[in-house]
Amino acid sequence: MPVTCYICGRDFGTKSIKIHIPNCEKKWDNEQEKLPKKERRPVPQAPQNFDKVLSGEISAPKQLQEYNEQAFNDFNTKSLQECPNCGRTFLPKPLEIHSRSCKPKETRLKPAAPRKSKRSQDRRNDPSPRPETLKTKTPPTPDHSDLHTPTKEELIELIQRDKTFDSPQMRRKLMARIQDLIL
């Protein structure tokens, strides 16, 4: 089972994570040196039991999965930065790009009302009946009375039972989709 890096969020083998961490810390420091002193952050601290993962004391899939969840949560909270407008988290450069287009909810533009053409205004003033071909038919509305809308608890239980979301990558994708739906 792969091991998640708590600094960059990527997955590595149990042996290659030992090689990756020093390189990732070095890359973190190099990136931070490019920032103004006020914006610099220290390298995130390793999660609890990281030393046991490196030494091989923790190797059972369930224990590694728990460690990976903790490492991914640390990555989300310590390595990523939150957008002040929408609350989504990003690496620094993607946050800059995202911030250019993300606006606070109060300043977001509302969709403009459709414009009326001069032709449609002329038709309103014209008392003659419209030809049959121009009349719009309203499609019948489907009857959804027999459908059950799941509760929040039912959705959570369904997600927890589904083995698809055991991998950190699938959980990340799911959380991104949920955030898109909520916002």
pLDDT tens for each residue of 50-107:
888 888 887 788 888 888 888 888 888 888 888 888 888 888 888 888 988 888 876 6
Contacts of 172 (CB under 8 A, 6+ apart): 72
- Mean of all residue pLDDT scores within the chain: 77
**Which residue ranges make up each domain of the chain?**
1-79, 80-105+164-183
pLDDT > 90 in the chain, percent:
7
Whole-angstrom CA distances from 170 to 24, 134, 157 are 23, 49, 16
Rounded distance, CA 111 to CA 104, Å? 16
| Tokens standing for residue 95 | 């946050």
Contacts of 40 (CB under 8 A, 6+ apart): 32, 33
Q: Which amino acid is at 150?
A: P
Residue-level pLDDT at 138: 66
Rounded distance, CA 56 to CA 58, Å? 5
Q: Are 103 and 83 in contact (CB under 8 A)?
A: no
Rounded distance, CA 58 to CA 54, Å? 8
User: Which of 71, 73, 83 has its CA nearest to residue 24?
Assistant: 71
Q: Is residue 119 pLDDT above 80, yes or no?
A: no
Residue-level pLDDT at 53: 84
| Tokens standing for residue 162 | 């589904």
- 168 or 24, which is more confident? 24
3-state secondary structure of 103: coil
Rounded distance, CA 91 to CA 158, Å? 31
pLDDT tier at 23, thresholds 50, 70, 90:
very high
User: Which of 70, 68, 99 has its CA nearest to residue 82?
Assistant: 99
Contacts of 18 (CB under 8 A, 6+ apart): 54
Residue-level pLDDT at 24: 92
pTM of structure: 0.51
Q: Which amino acid is at 122?
A: D
